[in-house]
């Protein structure tokens, strides 16, 4: 082969190599500088920052004014769905202020008469707290609580969503006796005679500024001593409460009922004469008692409880109540629920 064709082929080979290298280099430049930008998402609920919520302030402290020393009885005899820790902030605040906390456990010396056992414990008490009962009060026990309140004793009910039926109970409050007896859950037997009714189902608020849509802010519905100093209280999935007295706290208009899907303002704390009721128990726990104005509201409730003047010896214990050996439900014991008295 002559030198001329050989040089021509060599030149062609070099040209191909150079073009290939140039193409690869150019592709690298395009890859580094010409990448398609990642699409942006305009929907705010997909943005990471949108999931951040403000941390709830937990700097509060339960304080209240009171004089003298009163005895507050806490019900633990009806399968109450609260633990000792759930009520510890309340117990601690009461004892720190010089009051005595006792527990009603059940029959005690009145083995055959839970009604008489409750009456006996209420005789020595100035206030009564009932939280999340899962066992129905007997008619006699409900009468004892009513007589206690009528004699000047103070009562506080606290419970979340349960088996009550507010429509039936409201019928009872308005004079329909049949409504006061039908399917109202375990709480209605004792709350209805005092003019208070609990709804079924929980409330939520998609526009709540709490930690989630079930942790909702509620605000005062009236200016009373029980709402003094309160701007907002944080409740966890509360239930609606109504009374023939006044509404203390209510949701915003954006709150919704999980069962009926109705929206609007719902009362979640009410007062009827010597009784108050709140549609939640968690607000009193160690985790939430000091967030927002929960501590102020709890302090107002405790001041209400120890602020009454009950007639001594009420409610009376029937003469025919059977007694036996052993201690009554609320006598002095170890300082824990179970025949206990916690002294200041």
CA atoms within 13 A on the CB side of 301: 32
pLDDT tens, residue by residue, 237-250: 999 999 999 999 99
Cα separation, 315 vs 35, whole angstroms: 84
Does residue 125 contact residue 153 with C-beta atoms inside 8 Å? Answer: yes
Q: What is the pLDDT of residue 147?
A: 98
Cα separation, 47 vs 41, whole angstroms: 8
Residue keyed to tokens 């004014």:
65
10 Å Cβ neighbour count for 243?
A: 23
Q: What is the pLDDT of residue 318?
A: 83
Cα separation, 56 vs 294, whole angstroms: 11
Among the ranges given (19-28, 71-80, 252-261, 313-322), the one the predictor scored with the smallest mean pLDDT: 19-28
Contacts of 209-214 with CB under 8 Å at 24 or more apart are 209/53, 209/54, 210/53, 210/56, 210/234, 211/53, 211/56, 212/53
Scored b (16 or more CB within 10 A) or e, 3-22 reads eeeeeeeeeeeeeeeeeeee
Where does residue 273 fall: left (phi above 0), alpha (psi -120 to 50 degrees), or beta otherwise?
Answer: left
pLDDT tens, residue by residue, 120-141: 999 999 999 999 999 999 999 9
DSSP annotation of 280: -
Say yes or no to pLDDT of 162 above 70.
no
Q: What is the pLDDT of residue 249?
A: 98
Among the ranges given (72-76, 98-102, 164-168), the one the predictor scored with the smallest mean pLDDT: 164-168
Instruction: List strand residue ranges (DSSP E) for the chain, in order.
Output: 71-75, 100-104, 127-131, 154-158, 196-198, 203-204, 215-220, 233-236, 241-243, 246-250, 256-257, 267-272, 275-278, 341-342
Q: Which residue has the higher pLDDT, 114 or 59?
A: 114
pLDDT tens, residue by residue, 283-319: 999 999 999 999 999 999 999 999 999 999 999 998 7
Percent of the chain with pLDDT over 90: 53
Which domains are delineated in the chain? 71-305 (3.40.50)
Among the ranges given (72-81, 170-179, 266-275), the one the predictor scored with the smallest mean pLDDT: 170-179
Among the ranges given (40-54, 61-75, 97-111, 266-280), the one the predictor scored with the smallest mean pLDDT: 40-54
Q: What is the pLDDT of residue 193?
A: 96
């Amino acid at each position: 082969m002559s030198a001329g064709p050989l040089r021509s082929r060599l030149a062609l080979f070099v040209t191909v190599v150079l073009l290939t290298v140039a193409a690869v280099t150019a592709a690298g430049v395009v890859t580094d500088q010409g990448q398609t930008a990642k699409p942006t998402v305009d929907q705010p609920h997909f943005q990471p920052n949108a999931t951040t919520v403000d941390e709830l302030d937990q700097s509060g402290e339960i304080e209240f004014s009171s004089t003298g020393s009163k005895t507050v009885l806490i019900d633990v005899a009806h399968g109450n769905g609260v633990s000792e820790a759930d009520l510890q902030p309340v117990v601690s605040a009461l004892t720190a202020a010089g009051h005595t906390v006792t527990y009603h456990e059940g029959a005690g010396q009145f083995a055959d008469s839970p009604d008489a056992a409750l009456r006996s414990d209420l005789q020595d008490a100035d206030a009564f707290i009932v939280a999340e009962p899962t066992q129905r009060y007997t008619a006699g026990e409900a009468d004892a609580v009513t007589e206690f309140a009528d004699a000047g004793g103070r009562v506080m009910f606290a419970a979340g969503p349960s088996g009550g039926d507010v429509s039936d109970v409201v019928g009872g409050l308005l004079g329909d006796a049949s409504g006061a007896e039908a399917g109202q859950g375990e709480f209605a037997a004792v709350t209805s005679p005092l003019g208070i009714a609990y709804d079924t189902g929980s409330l939520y608020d998609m526009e709540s500024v709490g930690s989630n849509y079930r942790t909702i802010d509620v605000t005062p519905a009236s200016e009373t001593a029980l709402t003094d100093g309160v701007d907002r209280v944080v409740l966890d999935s509360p239930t609606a409460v109504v009374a023939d007295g006044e509404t203390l706290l209510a949701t915003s208009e954006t709150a919704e009922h999980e069962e009926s899907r109705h929206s609007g303002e719902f009362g979640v704390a009410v007062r009827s004469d010597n009784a108050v009721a709140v549609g939640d128990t968690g607000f009193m726990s160690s985790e939430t008692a000091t967030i927002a104005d929960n501590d102020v509201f709890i302090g107002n409730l405790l001041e209400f409880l120890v602020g009454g003047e009950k007639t001594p010896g009420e409610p009376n214990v029937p003469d025919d109540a059977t007694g036996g050996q052993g201690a009554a439900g609320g006598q002095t014991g170890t300082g824990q629920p179970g025949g206990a008295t916690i002294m200041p």
